[in-house]
Amino acid sequence: QAEPEVRTATGTPADLPRGRAQQGEYLTTAQGARLTDTDHSLKAGRRGPILLQDHHFREKITHFDHERIPERVVHARGAGAHGVFRATGAASSITRAQFLQKDVETPVFVRFSTVLGSRGSADTVRDTRGFATKFYTEEGTFDLVGNNIPVFFIQDAIKFPDVVHAAKPHPDREIPQAQSAHDTFWDFVSLHTEATAHTMWNMSDRGIPRSYRMMEGFGVHTFRVVNAEGDTALVKFHWKPRLGVHSLVWEEAQLINGFDPDFHRRDLADAIEAGAYPEWDLGVQVFPDTPEQVFEGIDLLDPTKIVPEELAPVQIIGTMVLNANPTNFFAETEQVAFHPGHLVPGIDVTDDPLLQGRLFSYLDTQLTRLGGPNFGQIPINRPHAPVNDMFRDGFHQHAVHTGVAPYKPNSLDAGCPFMAGVTEGAFVDLPVEVPAAKKEREVSRSFDDHYTQVRQFYLSLSEIEQDHVAYAYTFELGKCYEQSIKERQLQILANIDTGLCEKVAAGLGLPAPKPTVEVSDLPQSPALAQVGKTWPVQ
Ligand code: HEM
């Protein structure tokens, strides 16, 4: 198989701009004046105080003092890689997105991450993993900002600060640093039963992946696509790793955290350096765009539910190869800014209330994290499509704009490329009907079932995988101080599966409660037994 050409955000890795700070043969000040000494400050006598006059000393220390930027409020720890996505063309019938047409190759940058730990935390903790991909398409940048788990903790973005506060370390002692074993996390998920599905995925082997190269990725939400004829469909995005899905066992994960906290980061970089480029197929589950947005009884706007692949097979639409490591971690992996609202013509969002909230949050946080509104000019964030916006000035403005009339239409600047109403090649907001509605804070009643799919997922696991789940709940709940939290979580487990509840209760030395909700006895068809495990964990 021919190796794809290595192309990155700015061309080839070798083309990444070194910036004005690394030119010429000699060490200089930031102003380019050649230095003779960078090891000794200018003092009043050999044993005297440092002089305020020492500009080089002050410039060097000041710059160092400001080297750190805030870490991401979530997903702070990550590892990135460059690559290429090549479309099969199978998606042409459902979307007009140029990068999904047959044989089109698009440069990508991917950042994998844990969610809860800080920048310096360990890699092999039990947690969800982020899987965010930036496609530098000719029609603008498309970001697929997903996770390695196909469901999410909450159904409405307004609870995101709450679930993150509950899952981050305790506010008083800031422990534990990077795992879910604590009272606030279990308090939250036992009081918000919509979190049950995501929690079960976290307690399964999916919560401790063997390698970033061996993880699935999920867009989680349902997206709307539109083709050249204007027909729409609903889709869910899936990344399928060519290496299969593999996990660690808990004891391995614990040992590795001690021996090599950079295990996943090192694994990804080493594999790429050795030429063992990881690959993923991108696939979609496709659903008709009906007014109800419900498929086989599953509400497609509920991000705590999956659609089993047996009901809607994943159809492969392209392949991604990661074939180049970042040249500089800070410039690329740290400064990259993903956003679920970075869309291209042919792909649009739906009204999933979690996705709707995300559309606000990412830009908002990046304004602080990346120091103002011009972070789109940082090399890793620059679109490959030409950018011609009306944005001017602001902190860290690097562009030297021309013209006198930064508004459209205008009669002063020549060469105005903008013609209002011309839709050819443009991102057109789909005129989707919004049903007549009252303003209210309630969610749809179709979001209410918090147990059926969790039971389906648990029953789809092999006996060994089920034991791992029981052990994970026992270990994590065993770290809680509050007995009432353990009891409330046991009640939830009883509602999923009494056998699971009994195992965990025995491990915790507590009585197993009886179920309080009726979980429909699910058909044990071979198809359903496969739900959630495209590849067996080895
Ligand atoms: C960061 C995924 C829900 C707010 C991230 C990242 C991923 C991700 C992969 C890391 C991006 C990177 O590598 O730079 C998801 C998924 C979600 C979800 C799959 C649900 C399905 C939410 C919600 C909110 C939110 C509901 C807020 C309402 C954030 C913020 C960041 C972030 C503030 C940090 C961004 C930055 O500093 O650049 N998310 N997230 N996320 N997410 Fe989410």
pLDDT, one tens digit per residue, over 192-216 is: 999 999 999 999 999 999 999 999 9
For the residues 111-138, what does the mean pLDDT come to?
Answer: 97
Q: What is the pLDDT of residue 520?
A: 57
What confidence category does residue 367 fall into, taking pLDDT thresholds of 50, 70 and 90?
Answer: very high
According to DSSP, residue 159 is labeled G
For the residues 493-498, what does the mean pLDDT come to?
Answer: 96
Weakest-pLDDT range from 171-175, 297-301, 464-468: 171-175
The alpha carbon of 271 and the centre of ligand 1 are apart by a number of angstroms equal to 26
Q: Is 362 annotated as a binding residue?
A: yes
Is the pLDDT score of 179 beyond 90? no
Computed over its alpha carbons, how large is the radius of gyration of the chain? 26
The alpha carbon of 167 and the centre of ligand 1 are apart by a number of angstroms equal to 14
Task: Say how many Å lie between the first and final Cα of the chain, rounded.
Answer: 27
Q: Please tell me the distance from the alpha carbon of residue 233 to that of residue 224, in angstroms, as a whole number.
A: 6
What confidence category does residue 9 fall into, taking pLDDT thresholds of 50, 70 and 90?
Answer: very low
Q: What is the pLDDT of residue 413?
A: 87
Weakest-pLDDT range from 97-106, 452-461, 525-534: 525-534
Query: In this structure, which amino acid lies at residue 350?
Result: T
Q: Is 160 annotated as a binding residue?
A: yes
- Best substitution site from 69, 71, 75, 237 to test ligand 1's pocket, by max atoms within 8 Å of Cβ? 75
Position of tokens 């050819």? 424
Q: Is pLDDT larger for residue 310 or for residue 19?
A: 310
Which ligand 1 atom lies nearest to the CA of residue 355? 26
Which ligand 1 atom lies nearest to the CA of residue 337? 38
For the residues 102-125, what does the mean pLDDT come to?
Answer: 97
For the residues 313-338, what does the mean pLDDT come to?
Answer: 98
Percent of the chain with pLDDT over 90: 83
Q: Please tell me the distance from the alpha carbon of residue 427 to that of residue 415, in angstroms, as a whole number.
A: 22
Closest-CA residue, ligand 1 atom 38, reads 337
| φ, ψ for residue 159, nearest 5 deg | -90, 0
Look up the pTM and report it: 0.93
The alpha carbon of 339 and the centre of ligand 1 are apart by a number of angstroms equal to 8
For the residues 460-479, what does the mean pLDDT come to?
Answer: 97
For the residues 461-486, what does the mean pLDDT come to?
Answer: 97
Weakest-pLDDT range from 90-99, 330-339, 446-455: 446-455
Q: What is the pLDDT of residue 22?
A: 79
Which two tokens mark 75?
């997903």
Positions marked catalytic: 75, 147
pLDDT, one tens digit per residue, over 232-282 is: 999 999 999 999 999 999 999 999 999 999 999 999 999 999 999 999 999
What confidence category does residue 14 fall into, taking pLDDT thresholds of 50, 70 and 90?
Answer: very low
For every residue of 336-357, DSSP letters joined together read ----TT---TTEE----HHHHH
Q: Please tell me the distance from the alpha carbon of residue 496 to that of residue 474, in angstroms, as a whole number.
A: 15
The alpha carbon of 74 and the centre of ligand 1 are apart by a number of angstroms equal to 7
Weakest-pLDDT range from 43-47, 138-142, 208-212, 405-409: 405-409
H or E, element range at 317: strand 315-324
Which ligand 1 atom lies nearest to the CA of residue 158? 28
What confidence category does residue 3 fall into, taking pLDDT thresholds of 50, 70 and 90?
Answer: very low
What confidence category does residue 18 fall into, taking pLDDT thresholds of 50, 70 and 90?
Answer: low
Closest-CA residue, ligand 1 atom 20, reads 152
Which two tokens mark 289?
């765009």
239 bridge partner residues:
217, 282
Is the pLDDT score of 13 beyond 70? no
Q: What is the pLDDT of residue 414?
A: 79
Q: Please tell me the distance from the alpha carbon of residue 418 to that of residue 405, in angstroms, as a whole number.
A: 13
Q: Is pLDDT larger for residue 535 or for residue 26?
A: 26
Buried b (16+ CB within 10 A) or exposed e, 365-400: bbbebbbebbbbebbbbebbeeeeeeeeeeeeeeee
Is the pLDDT score of 538 beyond 50? no
Q: What is the pLDDT of residue 20?
A: 63
Is the pLDDT score of 531 beyond 70? no
**Considering the chain, what is the average pLDDT of its residues?**
92
Q: Please tell me the distance from the alpha carbon of residue 60 to that of residue 239, in angstroms, as a whole number.
A: 45
